[in-house]
């Protein structure tokens, strides 16, 4: 079955940036582009679905995009949200990827590597971590050697998580980045210099605070890839 990239257009709003991004992506991937008014009814042949989005439309609820029907969300296709008022400022071709190194989302990693490959760009893989819960109970400052050991462990976990894709795509340069920040804060910082930021989403899971924060505040398109 022929794969296409679908740009979903809200008839009541200007979605030029979403169409432009989808057209560019279709050219990079050598796939046909289908532009539809409103939510698509048939996504069986879709490689991805591209939607225009205004940050104020992002809901603090189970769905991050209230205009997107549940059957489209459940179709198992990557959803790329292009914020109408922010995409024009994105000039880089780099790709940023949010990775939970302890429980990596394979589909999101695969999508991010492929996106970086077709752009001939670097992949910035970000794993956000936090200090162990019992560290807060220490009576004094955390010893530097303990913190370094914890961080080394996180670095190794990220390296292990990405190894299969680095071997599959040796032509893609990868920056492995382990940061002691909240995930949303880390990815928002990376989005400032990226053409695309990629995150995973578990099946039937709620749209978490990380995704909603990215859709509201990221300065580049956001790809949400279902597992």
What token pair was written down for 57?
A: 């439309």
- Quote the pTM value: 0.86
- Identify the pLDDT of residue 125: 96
* Range from 22-31, 37-46, 126-135, 186-195 carrying the lowest mean pLDDT: 126-135
In this structure, what is the dihedral angle of CA atoms 86, 87, 90, 92, given to the nearest 10 degrees?
A: 150
pLDDT digits (tens, 9 = 90+) for 174-200: 999 999 888 899 999 888 889 999 999
pLDDT digits (tens, 9 = 90+) for 69-126: 666 666 788 999 988 775 444 556 799 999 999 999 999 999 999 999 999 999 999 9
CA neighbor of 59 nearest in space, from 226, 227, 223, 212? 212
String of DSSP letters for 36-69: EESS-S--TTEEEEEEEE-GGG--SSS-S-TTS-
CA–CA dist 189, 196 (Å, integer): 13
Rg of the Cα atoms in the chain: 18
CB-count exposure of residue 70 (10 Å: 0-12, 13-18, 19+) = exposed
């Amino acid at each position: 079955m022929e794969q296409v990239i679908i740009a979903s257009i809200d008839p009541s709003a200007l979605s030029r940036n979403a169409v432009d991004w989808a057209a560019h992506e279709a050219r990079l991937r050598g796939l046909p582009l289908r532009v539809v008014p409103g939510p698509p009814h048939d996504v069986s042949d879709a490689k991805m679905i591209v939607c225009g989005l205004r940050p104020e439309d992002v809901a603090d609820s189970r769905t991050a995009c209230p205009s997107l029907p549940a059957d489209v969300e459940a179709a198992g296709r990557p959803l790329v949200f292009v914020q109408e008022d922010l995409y024009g400022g994105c000039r880089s071709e780099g790709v940023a990827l949010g990775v939970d190194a302890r429980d990596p989302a394979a589909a999101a990693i695969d999508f991010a590597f492929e996106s970086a490959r077709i752009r001939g760009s670097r992949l910035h893989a970000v794993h956000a971590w936090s200090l162990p819960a019992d560290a807060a109970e220490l009576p004094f400052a955390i010893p530097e050697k303990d913190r370094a050991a914890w961080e080394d462990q996180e670095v190794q976990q990220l390296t292990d998580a990405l190894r299969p894709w680095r071997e599959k795509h040796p032509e893609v340069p990868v920056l492995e980045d382990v940061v002691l920040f909240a995930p949303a804060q880390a990815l928002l910082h990376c989005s400032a210099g990226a053409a695309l930021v990629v995150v995973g989403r578990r099946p039937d899971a709620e749209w978490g605070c990380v995704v909603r924060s990215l859709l509201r505040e990221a300065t580049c398109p956001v790809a949400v890839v279902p597992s």
